[in-house]
Amino acid sequence: MSQPQRTWNHEYQRYLETHYDTVHQRHYRKHYVEGEGWVFFDWLTRPDSGYAAQSLGAGFIGQGPAIQGTYNPVNAQPDAHYETLDSTYFVRHKEFFQEGKVFSILFTEPLGSTAAATSYNDSVSLVKLGGQVYTQVRRFIVVRQKREFCFALPIFTYSGKGTKKSGVVVREHAIAYAYGSTPTLLPGEYPLEKDPICIVMTAPANERGSTLSPSSRIYFGIHHPIQYNVKVKDLGYVLPEHVPQLTAYWRNELQVDTTGQGPEVAAEAAEQYLADD
């Protein structure tokens, strides 16, 4: 049997080997990881899948609502690039949104409003903030940087239940754990197919968002286009050697033509956030 040919890939800046999986009847690629050898990288699109003609620009399976900011640098007011409720949230330069960057976004609603931050968050239990607005925090990981926006995956705890939450599709998730800690399943949680992803947390220890709950799970079944004028808080970054695996998992989910987790499951997934009066 001939050895697989190794070719240099300019997009991913690495050598890749192409193999064929007889069980799934699909080609896949491997890449070299120091200390592990040649390991799985991604599945190659089936020629007849209908996805081969799709670019990585828009229209994927699993694309969620776009998240747009209100900051306009042309007609900006003083301090308009900061979040008034929490100044650690502010507009960043495009280069901030590198693959693997972890950040959070505040979504606020006027008191008494029933409007949703996104189309599937209308049942989120929001925390009253200062008697005037409700606010929720959502965390994301960048998986692709574009010219005017990035694609990012959400990190959910599912109210501390992890993938035990009813309706969650286990195979679409991976454990997110902080550098220096050990990734663990919750009691009664089924093993996850995807390997855990390590995140180096950089937020100061006395700030909210500086730690990861043991129930934190990266959801690969949906990604959001997030514009660069959104006010975000820097939480950290994925360990560099884990970034290729993170993006490979994301690309693979784009090619899974199945009915996965329903949007209503994420409706209660956002973390609650309480600010001082």
pLDDT tens by residue, 174-219: 999 999 999 999 999 999 999 999 999 998 877 777 789 999 999 9
31 and 160 belong to one structural domain: no
Say yes or no to pLDDT of 81 above 80. no
Dihedral-angle region of residue 167 (phi above 0 means left; psi in -120 to 50 means alpha; beta otherwise): left
74 and 146 belong to one structural domain: yes
Note down the domain range covering 15: 1-45
Q: 2 pLDDT band (50/70/90 cuts)?
A: low
Q: Quick one: average pLDDT of 19-37?
A: 74
**What are the tens digits of pLDDT across the range 239-277?**
999 999 999 999 988 877 555 666 556 655 644 433 332
12 and 140 belong to one structural domain: no
34 and 84 belong to one structural domain: no
37 and 163 belong to one structural domain: no
Q: Is 34 a domain residue?
A: yes
Closest CA relative to residue 223, chosen from 68, 64, 100, 105: 64
Tell me what pLDDT residue 150 has.
Answer: 94
- Proportion of the chain above pLDDT 90, given as a percent: 38
Q: Is 229 a domain residue?
A: yes
86 and 213 belong to one structural domain: yes
Tell me what pLDDT residue 115 has.
Answer: 43
Q: Is 51 a domain residue?
A: no
Give the span between the Cα atoms of 95 and 73, in whole angstroms.
17
Quote the DSSP letter at residue 202: -
Q: Is 54 a domain residue?
A: no
Tell me what pLDDT residue 119 has.
Answer: 35
Tell me what pLDDT residue 40 has.
Answer: 76
How many domains does the chain divide into? 2
Residues 118 and 65 sit within 8 Å (Cβ to Cβ): yes
**What are the tens digits of pLDDT across the range 120-158?**
333 233 444 444 556 778 999 999 999 889 999 999 999
> Would you say the pTM of this structure is higher than 0.75?
no
CA–CA distances in Å: residue 51 to residues 26, 34, 174, 175: 14, 32, 24, 28
Say yes or no to pLDDT of 15 above 90. no
DSSP assignment of 36-60, as one string?
TEEEEEEEPPPTTSS-TT--SSS--
Tell me what pLDDT residue 66 has.
Answer: 78
Tell me what pLDDT residue 74 has.
Answer: 58
129 and 227 belong to one structural domain: yes
